[in-house]
Structure 1
Amino acid sequence: MEMKGETRPLVIQRSNARLSYRFFKRLADIVLSGIGLILLSWLFLILALCIKLHDGGPVFYSQTRVGKGQKKFRMWKFRSMVTNADKLKEKLMAQNEIEGAMFKMQNDPRVTKIGKFIRKYSLDELPQLWNVLIGDMSLVGPRPPLPKEVEQYTERDLLRLMVKPGCTGLWQVTSRSSASFSEMVNLDLIYIERRSLRYDFILILKTIKIMIVPNETA
């Protein structure tokens, strides 16, 4: 009985700590994404003009992704590929360079010239600040997968959907291009175990550094 009495306050303390973390994390997401959208509005305009003038196609690209608790949402990006990229993907599946429930090509022929530039500096991801502001995503967390990818997930892989997906995370600031799918899952689970406001802040700073000085392996 004494052990139960000693354990219960500890469980409550941990629960309250997690609740506090989620509250301040959401508050930080709203404030930082809102500020980011305002301060970067000039960059949004420049990128939109460059993409539009390049081939006349849509400026933004949206895609259904899977978030926390397997909830689906519409994720936004600046378009970095040709307009029929999704149809061409089926023809390129045999050239997938990564094992597991994910598609990756180092030199994807669908990427446009302007797309290569904005991808190098991760500028194509900036519209996801809107996803963060409305609550679909967080600034830091596992990347949201496609529904078709989730269909191939093991029970262990599904653990990465326990938290809200993010614009950046541990995987993105370490070995984004070279990591296998299983390594990505491992990094996501490490983040979920260690997550805290301090840890999130460190990952955000590392992300900003990579955007300014891109890592060749990222």
Structure 2
Amino acid sequence: MTADPDGVQKKRAYHICKRVFDLIMSLVALIILWPVFLVIAIAIKIDDPRGGVFYSQTRIGKDGRRFKMFKFRSMVTDADKKLKMLLKYNDVDGAMFKMKEDPRITRVGKFIRKHSLDELPQLVNVLLGNMSLVGPRPPLPREVKEYGLADVQRLSVVPGCTGLWQISGRNNVSFETMVALDLKYIREANIWVDFVILLKTFRIIISPNDAY
């Protein structure tokens, strides 16, 4: 196989541009959206005063590195403890767990999930560099333990807040399809692809989606 210096250089330039874009856009978004953050935080506290506003969870990033991913809390405070009892009700095949009528989700949680507003604190992860605006979904450690050879390829790039999976049906696609979409993105990623994915993500935020 012959070397492709032009291809390597293009990818390097793309990743540099992507990181600069991530930094600028995440900082601007955090400044503009702080009133939205405040409203969501108040709503979460009114709905379930016992818990915190934010929720952090260990995820696996590029090259298998662990990091804390931030979200607005959309579940009851002891949601992780209740997970084992609910695993048998998983509505998604494969390593992921998703449940359409998850009893752990709060009333406000259902709304912010439908509009993907629970994901907004991940803008902080983008600033820190352990996530990008666009990329594969960052998996949980227990999910990675069940990965096959193809699945592991998802860990070759920085995970994203949104991606092909999120704009292609999200919870209506199987785990295998999600992996295929992530690998397709990794192969074809460029500035234009990222821009199109972000535009379609904004549409999901404005209009309710099938998230649960």
TM over 0.5: yes
1:22 to 15, 21, 26: 15
Q: Tell me the SS of whatever aligns to 2:26.
A: helix
Q: Tell me the SS of whatever aligns to 2:55.
A: strand
Deviation at 1:52, TM superposition (A): 1.1
CA contact (8 A) 2:72 2:118 kept: yes
Q: Note closer, same or farther for the CA distance 1:52–1:73 as it changes in structure 2 (3 Å cut).
A: same
- Partner deviation per Cα, 1:161-205 (whole Å, 9 max, x = no partner): 111000000000011011111110000001111100110000000
Number of aligned positions between the proteins: 211
Aligned positions of 1:77-96 closer than 5 A: 77-96=71-90
The separation in 1 between residues aligned to 2:105 and 2:173, in whole angstroms, is 21
1:37 equivalent to 2:30? Answer: yes
The separation in 2 between residues aligned to 1:172 and 1:148, in whole angstroms, is 21
CA contact (8 A) 1:175 1:217 kept: no
CA contact (8 A) 1:101 1:153 kept: yes
2:147 to 146, 153, 169: 153
Q: Which runs of 4+ in 1 moved over 3 A?
A: 215-218
CA contact (8 A) 2:172 2:210 kept: no
List alignment gaps of at least 5 residues for structure 1. none
1:131 equivalent to 2:125? Answer: yes
Q: Tell me the SS of whatever aligns to 1:62.
A: strand
Aligned positions of 1:167-182 closer than 5 A: 167-182=161-176
Q: Tell me the SS of whatever aligns to 1:107.
A: coil
Q: Tell me the SS of whatever aligns to 1:139.
A: strand
Identity %: 53
Determine the structure 1 residue equivalent to 2:40: 47
Determine the structure 2 residue equivalent to 1:12: 5
CA contact (8 A) 2:115 2:209 kept: no
In structure 2, what residue type is equivalent to 1:55? D
The separation in 2 between residues aligned to 1:21 and 1:148, in whole angstroms, is 31
TM-score by length of 2: 0.97
Deviation at 1:217, TM superposition (A): 7.4
In structure 2, what residue type is equivalent to 1:190? K
In structure 2, what residue type is equivalent to 1:156? A
Aligned positions of 1:61-100 closer than 5 A: 61-100=55-94
CA contact (8 A) 1:118 1:124 kept: yes
The separation in 2 between residues aligned to 1:54 and 1:112, in whole angstroms, is 8
Deviation at 1:215, TM superposition (A): 3.4
Superposed CA RMSD in Å reads: 1.3
In structure 1, what residue type is equivalent to 2:171? S
1:214 equivalent to 2:208? Answer: yes
The separation in 2 between residues aligned to 1:77 and 1:217, in whole angstroms, is 15
The separation in 2 between residues aligned to 1:147 and 1:46, in whole angstroms, is 32
The separation in 1 between residues aligned to 2:210 and 2:38, in whole angstroms, is 27
The separation in 1 between residues aligned to 2:184 and 2:67, in whole angstroms, is 25
List alignment gaps of at least 5 residues for structure 2. none
1:190 equivalent to 2:184? Answer: yes
Q: Tell me the SS of whatever aligns to 2:45.
A: helix
TM-score by length of 1: 0.94
Deviation at 1:55, TM superposition (A): 1.4
In structure 2, what residue type is equivalent to 1:48? A
